[in-house]
Chains A and B, each alone.
Chain A
């Protein structure tokens, strides 16, 4: 799913999904976050977040598990493929901006 030709990954390259990926990437590897807390951190409506998570999950970038009886709580995490894709996206994004923001680091 990761385009190697320098094209930005279309799965991540949308404002809402980039914010979801960024938030999940802020967690230590393999840690999960409850759907409700994730939604709070993003200020998204449940329906909106579900839609974007579905798309990310179809791409294999995120993984959801349900715990507890009944409705339970859904916990979401970044898969290792998702983390790789996110890191690559960020590298590409920075590379695109290099001539403008090249001020020592990156």
Chain B
């Protein structure tokens, strides 16, 4: 990239100026915008692999015989990788920015964190009453699905994003229906329908982004991240 030390006296033609501004706008948006397509893709892959692996390793007659801790380790490993990529992506695009949209994004991000901490506390309290292992597993799986669905609904509502809102509705629906299939079948529902749903949303957003790579004054911005 050659930097032209253009003095303020030099004024290119209107067509050149338009090209300059469009090029710079693209560059700024690519660097500054959080990519919902990327985040949906990452979390879709994590759910597909993580829940898929739980389905294959947990239950009365598992396809793969591994210890529970090993199975849970892989599951949280998948989520952990997605979490690290999310944090890295958000940190690099939002670096050096502050203001109202940063603040609401941070508040939304924290609501994910707080929601899961509260869910964990609630399940820990419930397990003190003495519940079987598969009830425990069901509480975690369907409780997380409920939380994720509701957070997408509110995120979509606040940003006016039908994609996010639709993902929320989808997750709520498949989670409610899938819970009736019990453990470990609900894992398969979460893997294929849940993770698959994220992947579809990610693909749609990425394709739409490519198709609409022309400059537009208003672009959809996601506050916070899926987790």
Residues of A at the B interface (CB closer than 8 Å) are 8, 13-19, 22-23, 25-34, 36-38, 41-44, 48, 52, 55, 75, 77, 87, 90, 93-94, 96-97, 100
Q: Give the interface SS of chain A, mostly helix, strand, loop or mixed.
A: helix
B132 within 8 A of A: no
Known: A17-B8, A30-B100. A100 touches B17 (CB 8 A): no
What 5 A-B pairs have minimum CB-CB distances, sorted nearest first?
Answer: A37-B96, A31-B99, A34-B96, A26-B28, A28-B101
CB–CB B15/A75 < 8 A? no
Known: A31-B101, A37-B95. A97 touches B11 (CB 8 A): no
Q: Which of B19-27, B62-70, B186-194 contacts A (4 or more CB under 8 A)?
A: B19-27
A44 to B, closest residue via Cβ: B3
CB distance from B221 to the nearest CB of A (A): 6
Taking CB atoms, residues of chain B closer than 8 Å to A33 are 96-97
A17 to B, closest residue via Cβ: B8
CB 8 Å contact bits of B1-43 with A (1 = contact, 0 = none)? 1011110111110110110110011011101100000000000
CB–CB A15/B99 < 8 A? no
Separation of A15 and B24 alpha carbons in the complex (Å): 11
Residue contacts A-B, CB under 8 angstroms, 10 given: A14-B9, A15-B4, A15-B12, A18-B20, A26-B25, A28-B101, A28-B221, A48-B5, A90-B21, A93-B14
Taking CB atoms, residues of chain A closer than 8 Å to B8 are 14, 16-17, 52, 55
B128 within 8 A of A: no
CB distance from B6 to the nearest CB of A (A): 4
CB–CB A26/B18 < 8 A? no
CB–CB A32/B98 < 8 A? yes
CB distance from B62 to the nearest CB of A (A): 49
B102 within 8 A of A: yes
* Residue from B5, B6, B28 with most neighbouring chain A CB atoms (10 Å): B28
CB distance from A73 to the nearest CB of B (A): 8
